[in-house]
Structure 1
């Protein structure tokens, strides 16, 4: 089983065990590579091309699992652009701002964990490497994230939308 399949199965097991007491619910698992930028809600940087880490890799994937009102869905895409990380990062910081206040994960304040019962979004506890960028926007349960890093003379960037329902 690949890590992608493991994530979907784990989410399914966790969600279905929580929702089993509900007598009226739907149940399902989704996984495919037909993911488009519209699934994330962001445009593709001009001139960017899909990126795969290897022959067995996919440049786009959607994974989801749900049971009743509980669920998880992740849509993710990977690209490469022949331009600087700064230009790509600036483009996505502006695009993400359409959805609210953008967190810049290079800022230590963005990595402070909110209280457990808060729906406030935060970044992971690790700081992006020097010259890398990571931006997030939304809530802890429904957010978009873009990470940009140097790739030779150009930039590699990933974008995703995460939707948790519970």
Structure 2
């Protein structure tokens, strides 16, 4: 399993926030019928709801940990699920970005949260997904989001050495 310190900053921030919320809510969750926590490294592109990029390989770090994470928390009517899968490819950022921008389009309007001029519909409506001030792509990379705050998919693409690393996330919450 990939340690949180080796994940993309967006991923590690999400993971730590989720764990903090889980620990705070644990007493209430444990009292609810059917409560539980699941954590494993068995996520796939299909689980995230996006295709694997042609020719890409699943990222494996130098310690042999594969680039996948499945974190689920549930209890009563509350639930949270985070699925992550990380790949590498020799193809350029723009080619991979175009592939995922198109693939994500089936879920709605794709937000480009890559730069200072990120495309986002400013809204006070909590049912509308937006690019947050902390959503930033790494230098030379891209960051896309699609869906709703309760069911969103995020793709983060960045150049690392002579290869491109990209992460696909699916975040699902229920209340």
Deviations 1:87-121 (A, max 9, x none): 00000000000110000003535467743x61211
Distance 1:65 1:73, change over 3 A: same
Answer yes or no: is the 8 Å Cα contact 2:112–2:118 preserved in 1: no
Q: How far is 1:53 from its partner? A: 3.4
Aligned to 1:84: 92
Shift in Å at residue 34 of structure 1? 1.3
- Residue 155 of structure 2 corresponds to 146
Match of 2:34 among 4, 13, 26: 26
- Between stretches 123-132 and 32-41, larger displacement belongs to 123-132
Q: Report the equivalent of 2:9.
A: none
Structure 2: distance between partners of 1:6 and 1:91: 30
Alignment correspondent of 1:124: 132
Correspondence 1:73 to 2:81: yes
Give the unaligned 5+ runs of structure 1: none
TM-score by length of 2: 0.79
Q: Which residue of 2 aligns with 1:165?
A: 174
The answer as to 2:23 corresponding to 1:10 is no
1:134, 1:147 within 8 Å by CA — same for their partners in 2? yes
How many residue pairs end up in the alignment? Answer: 162
1:52 aligns with 2:60: yes
Whole-Å separation in 2 of the counterparts to 1:56 and 1:113: 42
Q: Over aligned residue pairs, what C-alpha RMSD do you find?
A: 2.7
Structure-2 separation of matches of 1:93 and 1:110: 13
> What's the TM-score, normalizing by structure 1?
0.83
Structure 2: stretches of 5+ with no match in the other structure: 5-11
Alignment CA distance shift 1:109-1:154 (3 Å): closer
SS of structure 1 residue aligned to 2:51: coil
Moved more, 63-72 or 8-17: 8-17
Which position in structure 1 is the counterpart of 2:8? none
